[in-house]
Amino acid sequence: MTRPVLEVVDLVKHFGAVRAVDGVSLAVAPGEVLGLVGESGSGKTTLGRCATRLVAVTSGHVRINGTDIAKLSRRQLRPLRRHFNMVFQDPSSSLNPRMTVADIVSEPLRLHRIGTGASRRSRVNHLLDQVGLPAGVGRRYPHELSGGQRQRVSLARALSAGPALLVADEPTSALDVSVQASVLNLIGRLQSDLGFACLFVTHDLASVEFLAQRVAVMYLGVLVEVAARRELFATPRHPYTQALLSAAPIPDPPAQRTRRRIVLTGDIPSPVDPPAGCRFHTRCPVAVDECRVVVPPLRPVGPAGALVACHLVADDGTGPRLG
Amino acid sequence: MTLLRVDELTVRFRTEDGPVLAVDAASFDVAAEEVLALVGESGCGKSVTALALTRLLPRNATVAGTVTFDGTTLSALPESALREVRGRDVAYVFQEPMTSLNPVLTVGRQIGEVLRQHQKLHGAAARRRAIELLDLVGIPLPARRIGEYPHQLSGGMRQRVMIAMAVACRPRLLVADEPTTALDVTIQAGILDVLRDLRTEIGMAVLLITHDLGVVADIADRVVVMYAGRTIETAGAPALFARPSHPYTRGLLDAVPNPARHADGGLREIPGRVPVLADSPDACTFADRCGRADETCRRHRPDLSPGPAGHPVRCWHPLPVPEPAVPA
């Protein structure tokens, strides 16, 4: 197997008493889009921020192209930052309002001392073209652009130094559906043209199904299931994954109104004091005594190598079907 | 039976950048006990329309057109009479429950306030009714919850409290503006179930304002699509999804990732952006973004009239009805 671009091992991130990420391991292969899905409080955004070291890591490893960045200082990280970058949900708060678009996009090139003034200018024009913005936009300021255009600028900046890894945190969640479509198409096209690996963090299952090759599902700081996209959407195995997929309404009235639905009771528990055993047991309709006591390990099940953390799923991948 | 009729509703705002036409002669009606979804993207005028029904708009707004509720012309009522209608007959639920709840009052006090105001219920009777209401919206241990403050509740529970307050007086119409947009999908499913149950239990209609076509597919009986302040298509939910007539409606449906529709192709994009208008142009407002537009579309305003699929559409060149799929 080729070396993963991103390899996270036993990652833990606590904010004081809040156990935001509590022992997560995953890898993203070169050229792969891994969708990381979960609801509020699942820790998916924190995991993305740990992977790019925007926050310090409590324990565990974050390897990018084999180099462990988990414990590096700011100074040690700086030269490595050209290899990974991030785009965020709200482009209006992540772009400097006092810089022109051209300056924003070329900033990573200047910081990493890539190229000359002239070569940077031509690189910026090329990048703006790649993200579908007219060259004249380079002289504009972020407030002169629409939300969709600003997100294109964020992408151009994130990709300007040619990173091996892009972490995209809810990049389309603040956008209207028609604009969302164009940004999702763009990320898909850029990813297949440029071949970077992508950790795509979102709560939106439909965009993951559109963009990702593999999907990881997080619940309350831990992974509950990781599988190839088709397999995950066709045969979700963890009870939480099943509930999550069944709760997301599909835009097709006859199908939506006749499908089986699993309605979970209760709320996601506090990450300050997560439940013992399986963290999902307080809301799981099929939980047994073992689930309340023993932590289920994330282990391979079934013929296609899906990973599931559930006591009730057998090694051959069979298990409870809810609904 | 028609419960609410909106006829040529027009809302203009005076702003520092000049006048803005937010709602442009919008017309639709809501039947008793019906869930009508008002759908569109940011800036289409759907929320302003909802607020304009009972004149809940800031001072820089001017409203024209008529709103009739159960035979009463709301647009002609004085503010004092309208205040009686709000809360009692027409109730509202908004996207963010935390900003609509008072953080220093218990849930019970806040529901009690509504009961005192509109139903003259006090003391133990109000408390009993508040517990009933929390139970009605599916809040576990309601007798304990009424003593809690909003910050002690999760987002989903807060939204249930807002719905409980809204339906306290058994309104005939609940206006719900993006009620589940701030919530996770597993929580959203529960809230949509509550709305569905309340509709039959109380016998109220729901005007649901949303941008989420999945939510529409889940709960709406009928749909009104808005674009640039105009109502551009209205149909039963299944018909709208299966046989959209307006190119914009079709564009919205194709823009949503849906494996059944796209297989492995890309998502369809709608080029351009929504115009911000100062005045109502004598043209189709979607013409500049539409592949089917011609000179007629740029020079003449289309009316909302029956289209090829049998439901009203505001378009000079509506889409043909798709051939029924031949089973393979």
pLDDT band at B93 (very low <50, low <70, confident <90, very high): very high
Predicted local confidence at residue B156, as pLDDT: 87
Residue type for position A134: P
pLDDT band at B88 (very low <50, low <70, confident <90, very high): confident
Gap between the Cα atoms of A113 and A96, Å rounded: 20
> Which H/E stretch holds residue A26?
strand A18-28
> Measured between CB atoms, does B306 come within 8 Å of chain A?
no
Predicted local confidence at residue B260, as pLDDT: 62
Gap between the Cα atoms of B111 and B143, Å rounded: 13
Structural domain boundaries of chain B? 1-89+200-328, 92-170
Residues of chain A found within 8 Å of residue B260, distances taken between Cβ atoms: 250, 252, 255
Q: Are A244 and B185 a contacting pair at CB < 8 A?
A: yes
Backbone angles phi, psi at B205, to 5 degrees: -90, 155
Query: Smallest CA–CA separation between A184 and chain B, in Å?
Result: 8
pLDDT in tens, A201-232: 999 999 999 999 999 999 999 999 999 999 99
Q: What is the dihedral of CA B291, B293, B298, B299, to 10 degrees?
A: 180
Closest-approach residue (CA) in chain B for A203: B184
Gap between the Cα atoms of A65 and A84, Å rounded: 10
Task: Give the one of B154, B186, B217 whose C-beta lies nearest to A243's C-beta.
Answer: B186
Query: Smallest CA–CA separation between A174 and chain B, in Å?
Result: 10
Predicted local confidence at residue A1, as pLDDT: 59
* Percent of chain B predicted with pLDDT > 90: 73
> Which H/E stretch holds residue B241?
helix B237-242
Give the least confident one: B38-47, B52-61, B182-191.
Answer: B182-191
pLDDT at B259 over 80: no
DSSP assignments along A283-309, one per residue? T-TT--HHHHHSPPP-EEETTTTEEE-
Interhelix angle B107-119/B123-136, rounded to 10 degrees, is 110
pLDDT in tens, B99-127: 888 999 999 999 999 899 888 888 899 99
pLDDT in tens, A167-183: 999 999 888 888 899 99
Task: Give the one of A176, A210, A264 whose C-beta lies nearest to B257's C-beta.
Answer: A210
Give the least confident one: A29-43, A158-172, B114-128.
Answer: B114-128
Predicted local confidence at residue A50, as pLDDT: 97
Q: Are B218 and A206 a contacting pair at CB < 8 A?
A: no
The token duo for A295 is: 């932590």
pLDDT in tens, B7-24: 999 999 999 989 999 999
Task: Give the one of A251, A254, A266 whose C-beta lies nearest to B258's C-beta.
Answer: A251
Residues of chain A found within 8 Å of residue B269, distances taken between Cβ atoms: 178, 181-182, 185
pLDDT at B94 over 80: yes
pLDDT at B29 over 80: yes
pLDDT at A245 over 60: yes
The residue ranges of DSSP E strands in B59-145, in sequence order, are 61-69, 72-73, 90-93
For the segment A115-122, the average pLDDT, to the nearest whole number, is 93
Predicted local confidence at residue B154, as pLDDT: 85
pLDDT band at A114 (very low <50, low <70, confident <90, very high): very high
pLDDT in tens, A266-307: 778 888 999 999 999 999 999 999 999 999 999 999 999 899
Interhelix angle A101-111/A117-130, rounded to 10 degrees, is 120
By the 8 A CB rule, do A224 and A36 touch? no
CA angle B200, B204, B208 (to 5 degrees): 105
Residues of chain B found within 8 Å of residue A282, distances taken between Cβ atoms: none
By the 8 A CB rule, do B232 and B289 touch? no
CA dist B80 to B87, B90, B113, Å? 13, 15, 18
pLDDT at B132 over 80: yes
For the segment A128-140, the average pLDDT, to the nearest whole number, is 92
Nearest one of A126, A77, A84, A82 to A102, comparing CA atoms: A126
CATH of domain B1-89+200-328: 3.40.50.300
Instruction: Identify the DSSP state of B203.
Output: I
Predicted local confidence at residue B262, as pLDDT: 53
Query: Smallest CA–CA separation between A252 and chain B, in Å?
Result: 6
Gap between the Cα atoms of B67 and B89, Å rounded: 14
pLDDT at A323 over 80: no
For the segment A67-96, the average pLDDT, to the nearest whole number, is 93
pLDDT at B323 over 60: yes
Q: What is the dihedral of CA B22, B26, B30, B34, to 10 degrees?
A: -60
> Measured between CB atoms, does B218 come within 8 Å of chain A?
yes
Sign of the alpha-carbon torsion through A304, A308, A311, A313: negative
pLDDT at A235 over 90: yes
Residue type for position A257: R
Tell me the β-bridge partners of B129. none
> Which H/E stretch holds residue B31?
strand B18-31
Residue type for position B238: P
Q: Are B257 and A209 a contacting pair at CB < 8 A?
A: yes
Q: Are B267 and A247 a contacting pair at CB < 8 A?
A: no
Gap between the Cα atoms of B28 and B175, Å rounded: 14
